[in-house]
Amino acid sequence: MRLPRMTTRQLMSVVAVVAVSLGGIAGSQRLRQRRDEFADRAQWHREIVAAWNAKWRPAPSGGYPLQLVSYHAAMARKYRHAACYPWLPVEPDPPEPE
């Protein structure tokens, strides 16, 4: 029994399907890694806010801890959003309050 012969057009179609499949797999892995990284950053910022809320006390002069807590809360929101939408660009972090 003879095997069917592949034409150049059919072979090019097979190569294109394989290339698109491999590119999709690589892209999804990259997005998954990015999502995990953003989720870890959001968790880190949430832990800082939770630790401050657990031992809340009046702020010393200047209100420094409240500025710091609000900064970490904003960063947690930012990275939680970035983890939900990993394909969107993320702006650089603003400097931490002094």
Between CA 36 and CA 80 the distance in angstroms is: 10
Question: Any idea which of 9-13, 20-24, 33-37, 62-66 has the lowest mean pLDDT?
Answer: 62-66
Whether residue 8 lies inside any domain: the answer is no
Average pLDDT over residues 60-70: 70
pTM of the model: 0.74
Whether residue 18 lies inside any domain: the answer is no
Whether residue 93 lies inside any domain: the answer is no
pLDDT for 2: 83
Residue 61's domain comprises 34-84
H/E segment holding residue 11? helix 8-54
Number of structural domains the chain divides into? 1
Whether residue 47 lies inside any domain: the answer is yes
Whether residue 9 lies inside any domain: the answer is no
pLDDT at 63 > cutoff 80: no
Whether residue 95 lies inside any domain: the answer is no
What are the C-alpha distances in Å from 48 to residues 34, 66, 71, 96? 22, 12, 10, 13
Whether residue 26 lies inside any domain: the answer is no
